[in-house]
Structure 1
């Protein structure tokens, strides 16, 4: 193949088990939004459940409904969806047994209208904004949201299954916002429970909090990045330090290998010029496949057993590496990143080269790159979909 992303499902299961060990008193929600961070939503969801996760987390309702359409029913996993916009598929989600996050009065009104249309009660999680400043209900609006939800619960229109929030800086140990958000979440939960809310789960911890903040774990933890074997806190520890192993390997096959003279410009704008006679290898992956253009001149690639650096600009479909005096042949493997077990670069190496996060590196991989699944135990998990 021109290129391939290999997803090690055995590593994913081991990561889920390691995260369960980090939060032994909490249930685990496997966050599979954004196509499971670029790894493939349905195969990763099935394997996470096989490894002991009992919940799945999605951002958009379309993601949640896709899980249900793939046969992951309410009897197999609870699915929470938290990023709603006006006019969303509320009725479809209710009928599919999706848990729905509510952050504001407008959303609760639309949800209740859908409950009236379907005749089916909804299951909701009320989200408090404890300081992140994105979604979630502000403290001054929290009493009204809780009161309206409690009235709807008393009327049999919904069940309040969860109270939750999200941390802004769990990946920065000691950040002052952590203490403030922990206190704000306790206040929000205490208020709701004083008004008669009896949540099934309270949840606050993302990957970083699951690894570093036991006091944030509550009844449910929501690991995302860590489930895929990447460290959410690379300044604190590597994946191995947390008992994790990267799941994804991205590689391509060289499309061209040729000798060129010194002084030869390479790729658009000639930002790289060969310092002397050398061998150039063409890797058939570009920014349309998710290779960051910011990696121009800096992205690491393993070719012919050595680390190389992207020579010149990353183009839409391809980039070049300078092999110097080393030999290679068309069809030879070029590994952009993987677990690092064979000396190849990792997603974190790419993140540092591009001045970004490993989250972005893995979620960028485009649809032109097929995913191949290995090590699966859940039904239908091997091969390329």
Structure 2
């Protein structure tokens, strides 16, 4: 540990809060003034850190936050977040009183769920709900106008329950073809029209729909992956209406540097054999950090040069082939910019044959998150630090 890092290992994530704010502002600038932004900070803000991202999003113009589970909402409340909080996933009916006390909005996704929740809701409690309509995503949600009308009737006959919103989720908004999106939008509009009165917050758009389809913006849009500076898909990436600013980067330092002789082997199984005498560096990151074994061969940046990972990635350490001798302590960038070279989240996703959403989420909580904001210090954990200059 040193005065720059209040943690005891040389591996960390940097989250640029100015980029988070810039992405939120860019979307807000394209929306009508009466359309709100719901910032999606589920899964610890897609691995970026829920509290800091929530604060940055709210300061940039978001008016509500959304999470997946009640636990995530409670965590934000305990960290001092007082903004409206919507739980998008299924909560247990027996937990509605806790949600009501903490002023957390729950999702009604089934008539039977509402009946069970109503039965346990204590007198004097006020529970705010949004109704989820399943128009084709196939996860949770009300599937017929008949069920929706029954739900509305129950809510309207119980003064303890406030019908604050209704929403759906578009399954293919991140694809260039829009046939299925159009079908879902039509079905959602039909569901809304079946209500006797429209609730104050209607929302359907995820990131992709929010920036592509004005007709689906309704009263609010849910901003998830775009807020973090990542495209909802590779397919629509060339068609984005404005540049995104990636907020997540991953760094380490060389912990050990040595010469390996021709024919010597590296790591478990001896799967890498040095073809000639070469410099090998060790970095303190491995699959327990979410830098999984399939990333063997992936390049990292050392002094701005791309250097491949050699041998099997271990639980806590990885080895890289260096172009020349370098000092222990030299910064290694696994995701992000270094000396005019760049490794993006998308590059890592391509290597792992997955989507960019998964990459920041898979970097484990034992990797500290460091937060960068212009004009302020870097903050990590509970410490405030001077700017790191590398």
Q: What's the TM-score, normalizing by structure 2?
A: 0.89
Question: 1:384 offset after TM fit, Å?
Answer: 3.5
Selected match of 1:130 from 126, 135, 148: 135
Counterpart of 1:82 (choices 70, 78, 88) is: 88
Q: Counterparts of 2:143 and 2:30 in 1: how far apart (Å)? A: 30
Alpha-carbon distance in 2 for matches of 1:161, 1:287: 43
Distance in 1, matches of 2:361 and 2:40, equals 13
Instruction: Please identify, of 202-211 and 171-180, the stretch whose mean Cα deviation from structure 2 is larger.
Output: 171-180
Could you say if the C-alpha distance between residues 109 and 296 of structure 1 is closer, same or farther in structure 2, counting changes exceeding 3 Å?
farther
Alignment check: 8 A CA contact 1:246 1:339 kept: no
Identify the residue that residue 61 of structure 1 maps to in structure 2: 70
Q: Aligned match of 1:7 in 8, 15, 20?
A: 15
Q: Deviations over 1:162-208 (max 9, x none)?
A: 1101111111121432121111111111112xxx1321111111111
Which one is further off, 354-363 or 240-249? 240-249
2:304–2:340 CA contact under 8 A, matched in 1: no
For the 8 Å contact 1:30–1:222, the answer to whether it is kept is yes
Deviation at 1:210, TM superposition (A): 1.4
User: Deviation per CA, 1:127-185, whole angstroms, max 9, x where unpaired?
Assistant: 1110011111222xx42243233233233131111110111111112143212111111
Distance of aligned partners of 1:206 and 1:358 in 2 relative to their CA distance in 1, 3 Å threshold = same
CA distance in 1, matches of 2:177, 2:303: 43
Following the alignment from structure 1 to structure 2, what is the Cα–Cα distance between the partners of residues 224 and 103? 21
Give, in angstroms, the shift of residue 369 of structure 1. 0.9
Gaps of 5+ in 1: none
Question: Are 1:184 and 2:187 matched, yes or no?
Answer: yes
Contact 2:254 2:330 (8 Å CA) reproduced:
yes
Deviations 1:33-90 (A, max 9, x none): 01111111011101111111001010000111111222222xxx21100212435522
Partner of 2:5: none
Inter-CA distance 241–164: structure 2 relative to 1 (3 Å threshold): closer
Question: How many residue pairs end up in the alignment?
Answer: 373
* Cα offset, 1:24, TM superposition: 2.9
1:222-241 map, 5 Å: 222-237=222-237
Q: Offset of 1:23 from its aligned partner? A: 2.3
**What is aligned with 2:356?**
358
The SS at the match of 1:369 is coil
TM-score, structure 1 as length reference: 0.91
Query: Residue in 2 aligned with 1:284?
Result: 284
Aligned partners of 1:164 and 1:351: how far apart in 2? 30
Query: Which whole-Å CA distance do the structure 2 matches of 1:239 and 1:32 have between them?
Result: 25
Counterpart residue number, 1:158: 161
Alignment of 1:65-144 (within 5 A): 65-73=74-82, 77-86=83-92, 89-115=95-121, 117-139=122-144, 142-144=145-147
3-state SS of 1:262 partner: coil
For structure 2, the 5+ residue unaligned runs are 1-8, 383-390
State the SS of the aligned residue for 1:174: coil
Match of 1:315 in 2: 314
Q: Which residue of 2 aligns with 1:30?
A: 39
CA distance in 2, matches of 1:118, 1:155: 11
> Is 2:298 aligned against 1:295?
no
Q: Find 1:147's aligned residue among 144, 147, 150.
A: 150
